[in-house]
Structure 1
Amino acid sequence: MAHPSLLKSLGEQVLGHSGPVSLSDISGPERVIALYFSAHWCPPCRGFTPQLVAFYKHLKENTKHQLEVILVSSDQDEASFQDYFSDMPWLALPFAETKRKVRLSRQYRVSAIPSLVLLDSRSGRVITKSGREMVSSDPEALTFPWRPRALGDLLAATSLVDPQGQVVAYDAIKDAYKGLYFSAHWCPPCKAFTPQLISVYEKIKKKEGNFQMIFVSSDRSEESWRAYHSTMPWLSVAWECEDVRRELATNLEVQGIPTFVVLAPDNTVITAEGRAELTEDPEAERFPWRPQSVEVLAERHMARLQESPCLVLFTDGETTELQFGRDVLLPVAEEYLLEHAQEGALTLQFFVAGEDEVSDSVRDFACLEDVVPLVAILDLAEGAKFLLEDGVEVSTATVHNFVTRYCNSKLSPLPIRPVASSATNTS
């Protein structure tokens, strides 16, 4: 049986070369599903597809591993899709499932093709989003299905050194909060951010002694790494541990530097947005910056508005009104997230917004009236918005009802931007 999250994301059936195939028939213990985001018009895709075909056939013929690949096409017409799919020995999402394709791309944060995302069919959890790189580096499938090592195991397996080059045992810091700082000496934004991080690090150490920082270098030479690390008052992954540095970046989906990730003592990720959190909270009063069920909308949340549907309660920005908005939303958000949050799922995010440039830009983009309070669910990627009806009092009860109707597809979407009406030529 396929995991409910996969059934929700992919549907009960996918397309085989001889007709529909039940998702449950290709799911089960130890079975891996790979979503192949690709398109016929994409030269890198056409270059990678033969590699993936060879890998797929090798796996089927020479190993006991059970892998099924599902093409998620970005082709622009049915004929191109069919032509591309005809040369593939696996399954596909039906071409007509355009909305599902968009949601899958958002759900797994696919920003470029080709991309190969491996999922555990029984749990629905992501095994790795780096399938393309792994197929290229491990064509014999020697370490397939490439399940990532736990962060604690990775850190325990590496060599940690202080700025003087002395080795520090992982056991000495394993029970601490940990900050992983992905950075490099050649990177101007990194060199600008590092002094800020040092200042905040020293404040955190005074308040929370149980905190350690670890530099994960992207430097191009050992000399650059040593010079850069010597300016920092914390530990570093040793230069020779290149594989561990790469694996840490892959596991934590580090897309660029500088990146500052905060781990709990049990090595679960508290936030991957440490840089933005630090910028907003330079006194570290909210450290370790645990995610909030309801947040005040800020510039750093713009990416989230693009990635997931979001509920925003717009207020006039007064402190009392922002607190009112948070009080209204908090019980709804906590109940919703408890019921719906699961790994990989596109869950609704909750924000309260004030009167500022960020709020104004969101209102302008979504063509929302300049009234308060205003409650809207915005799904920017799908170009849809849902508005709490005029005249309805904004309260926890009415917002809860609004969210329930949204979850049950009982709300009628409006376009984010009005569709321009075509003028009639009467000449």
Structure 2
Amino acid sequence: MARLLLVDVGVVSPDQVSLGVLVAAVPRDAVEEAVAVCGVGALRADGKLPPHVVAYLTMALCLFTEDDYTEVATKVTGSLDRWGCWDAAWSAPTASAITQARKRLGRAVFPEIFERTCGPVAGESAPMAGLLATGRARGAWLRDWRLLAIDGFDVDMPDTDANAAEFGYAGSGVSRSAYPKARVVALSECGTHAFLAAEVDAYSVGEKTLAGRLYPRLHADELLTADRNFYSYQAWKLAAGTGAALLWRAPTQLALPVVRVLSDGTYLTILINPSIHHRARRERLLAAAQAGEDIDPDQAQWARVIEYDVPDRVGNGTGELIALLTTITDPTHAHADELADAYHQRWEQETGNDQLKTHLRGPGRVLRSRLPDLVHQEIWAWLIVHHAIAALITQAATAAELDPDRISFTQTLRLIRRTATGTADIPPSGLD
């Protein structure tokens, strides 16, 4: 499919395609509120690296990944001066000064900024099921549910003693990874690729553990898609308990007894708590479900199963049976084909991960930060900058009635990098 350039769409202004991409997404007020909450205000009122400047410089480091600290600062301080954050008489800060300022900022500020600024960008829910609301991004909805996906990735960082002690390596012995790795699990918005929530931890902390920290943040108007690696009974119960709809691929060995076949060929099943080992107890639970009796949610959970074949998916001439589990048990609320198509949208997160790791950071590139606090800063700054770009692309695509996938992320990023030094905008709010 041909990808359009952002400028081809013609619905965003030049100031938006620069460091000004951060203006709408990361206003200075939000940065200063995060700084205040974290208690890391400026030590000197006349200092040229106050916390909000350090925050924007750190985000700029994520845009100019091939440049060193001094070069990035030189590129963007003219824009900071334009908005009264910088004095043109000052020289660009040295790498050492930026590093010390980042240390003072600590690890907590950027997650707080993310929390305040990185929300959904695909528009609002329609007032009635099945209607497309004005301003909705294409590919981001199933009826009134906002489609989300959950997935994880790892991040390489400099091989320092401090980073190794906090984050660890993949593997061990001769098969140990060359660099320490952080593990990131994130919720993203299908269709727009915007990250909405994330957890960052050591590599030894598994994806299921990090995902468990994210499930309580789901909302009732969201539908979460997930690969089979995320399934466990407790994870399903926790996520379903938020009121959000779920659409997860079932693990291959999971028993899915047929309780009742539905009108569209799907069927109802019960997911039995694996802590119940006694066969007779499991059979009684199934019999109770088939009789329409109430089931203790600590012992079993209702689910609907959608099965379909994907022919020759791996290229060996054979097909693959896909079994999906959903909490949407009524076919009139979502048909089988709708749910299969919605699960396919889960792969949008793979695109978002690729945008983040390959295009924004650069293929095979290691983080800059040699200290754990700065690693956390850099990862969260990455997520924030990616969200800002995704929001800009979605704004342009929605206004032009296009799928955001039709606009090239790579070309948009290049355009932002080319124009950032000339028209970069830092939000003017609160500068007086």
Q: Which TM-score applies when normalising by structure 1?
A: 0.24
Q: Which protein has greater RCO, CA pairs closer than 8 Å, 6+ apart?
A: 2
Q: Which TM-score applies when normalising by structure 2?
A: 0.24
